[in-house]
Amino acid sequence: MKPPKKRRLTGLLGRDDNLKYYTLNGILFTIVTIFSRTYAPKFMDRLGATSLHYSLFNALPGFVAVLTTLPGILLISRAQNKGRIMRRFFYLSRFFPLLLLATPYLPQPLRAYAFVVLFSLMNLPESIAQTALQSWTGSIFSPQDRAGALSTRNKLSQVIMICFSALAGFVLSLPDPKNNQAVLLIYQLFFLSSVVFGLFEIRTLSKIHEVTTPPPQKKFSPKASFQSALAHREFRSFLLCSLLFHFGWQMGWPLFNFYQINVLKANELWLTLINVMSSLFMVLSYNFWANHIRRHGYKFTTAVVCMGMAISPVLYALSRTLPINAIMSISMGIFTSGVTVVILGSLLESAPPEEVMMCTALHTTLTNVTLFISPFLGELILKTFSVYHALYVSAAIRLLGALAFLIRWRRDPAAKSGPGRPKRSSLPFLRIAAGFARK
């Protein structure tokens, strides 16, 4: 077997076919997400949702993924053609919006609950397929090209998100907002459009080929693979830090939806403006984070972006009007772009090469456990105290996760020299925190 040719990431989409189709896949996935997921909370609001529905909406998909991700990944691991099985799971997920668009025809008391259940079940094939795709990313790009590929995919996807979010917001603003039936019809057309774009999205996956040499094939043992993954110190350290951060990160998701829609009274147009503002600064930030990773390494950059994400709930709590909330979303966009690059990159970097798929499955499953639990904690604090208290608790847990990543970086011998060592001029507040962590 000839070794794969050296591939370079050049040009807008590159001369590398893998980069081209991987990026195109990300663009189409973004369009599917806009039409099937972005406006789902507001769609639920028009179906008569309450704060409980918002918590269930964020928690139940995680519960479904907990039960299905590991069995699904084990099924894919045993298949001879892993890519084909992965695409079949994507197909199952992409046809679920056809069921979502039927929920307005149900009796009024059942509509919001039915939507939450169907949306959660959609996460069954989606979680398996996305976990397999994350694992596959380690096989289609070399380690030195991975950060650039993720940055390019995410950056161009966010450009498309801005355009399609603006288009979706404009279309939703055409009917009278008080005409619930007319707006629901537009949402139903969005769900139908997501199915069409989803078919093209899956088609791009068949054009991608592995370029790294896979480890020698051996008889697959789930128990041995599980033990081997957890025995790896680097992965175990990353996993513990990531779970703590994800708990605080995911806790904030339903709170943000509730705060924007129920407290600030945002309509579809305002939600679009806030999403566009956040997405614009995500696009502008991807190159910065990719360069930051190349200069300082994944471990230090992860600590930086997680500390930035800890600020977001506080900024939301301080936003008492929609214009201020839109301005505050700039910070969220900047640091979210970093999180989308560093979490996957750090996962692939910390996983042993022969257990990448098992490590990815474990990380996805356990972060879905936190996704199931954390919204209910937020709901409890919201009901007991207020949404502001819940946002502050979310920020505190995110900060603890960021400090855990910072301690992980400080304990790495490579942090004392090399690309993991930041220059003295960069981020003074992190130098102070690093000194505290050293003590």
Residue-by-residue DSSP string for 219-242: ---HHHHHHHHHH-HHHHHHHHHH
- In order of 141, 158, 180, 317, the CA distances from 166 in angstroms are 33, 12, 21, 26
| Environment class of 220 (CB within 10 Å of its CB; exposed 0-12, middle 13-18, buried 19+) | exposed
Is residue 118 assigned to a domain? yes
168: Cβ contacts below 8 Å, ≥ 6 apart: 34, 35, 38, 39, 190, 272
- In order of 54, 72, 115, 119, 342, the CA distances from 37 in angstroms are 13, 23, 12, 9, 23
pLDDT of residue 115: 95
Six-digit token pair at 260? 């924007």
Is residue 186 assigned to a domain? yes
Radius of gyration over every alpha carbon of the chain, rounded to an integer in angstroms: 21
* Domain harbouring 390, CATH code: 1.20.1250.20
Q: What is the DSSP string of 235-303?
A: HHHHHHHHHHHHHHHHHHHHHHHHIIIIIS---HHHHHHHHHHHHHHHHHHHHHHHHHHHHHHHHHHHH
Q: How far apart are the C-alpha atoms of 337 and 334, rounded to whole Å?
A: 6
Is residue 255 assigned to a domain? yes
Q: How far apart are the C-alpha atoms of 284 and 279, rounded to whole Å?
A: 9
How many domains are there within the chain?
Answer: 1
Its sign, for the CA torsion 282, 287, 288, 292, is: positive
Check: CB of residue 311 under 8 Å from CB of residue 414.
no
- Residue holding tokens 């003295």? 424
pLDDT of residue 12: 53
Q: How far apart are the C-alpha atoms of 268 and 302, rounded to whole Å?
A: 33
Is residue 289 assigned to a domain? yes
Is residue 146 assigned to a domain? yes
Reported pTM: 0.71
pLDDT of residue 13: 56
What length does the chain have?
A: 439
**Predicted confidence pLDDT, tens digits, the chain (439 residues):** 444 444 444 445 556 788 889 899 999 999 999 999 988 988 998 998 887 888 888 788 888 888 887 788 777 777 777 778 889 999 999 999 999 999 999 999 899 999 999 999 998 899 888 888 877 777 777 777 777 787 788 888 888 988 898 898 889 888 888 888 999 999 999 999 999 999 999 999 988 887 655 555 555 567 787 888 888 899 999 999 999 999 999 999 889 988 998 899 988 888 888 888 888 888 888 889 988 988 988 999 999 999 999 999 999 999 999 999 999 989 889 999 899 889 988 998 898 888 888 888 899 889 988 988 998 899 899 999 999 999 999 999 999 999 999 999 988 776 554 455 554 434 443 443 444 344 4
Is residue 119 assigned to a domain? yes
Range of the domain at 430: 17-212+225-438
3-state SS, residue 14: coil
180 CB neighbour count, 10 Å cutoff: 14
Is residue 307 assigned to a domain? yes
Check: CB of residue 232 under 8 Å from CB of residue 132.
no
Its sign, for the CA torsion 401, 261, 340, 319, is: negative
Give the distance, in angstroms, between the CA of residue 380 and the centroid of all CA atoms in the same chain.
24
Q: How far apart are the C-alpha atoms of 264 and 65, rounded to whole Å?
A: 32
pLDDT of residue 3: 44
Check: CB of residue 30 under 8 Å from CB of residue 194.
no
Is residue 421 assigned to a domain? yes
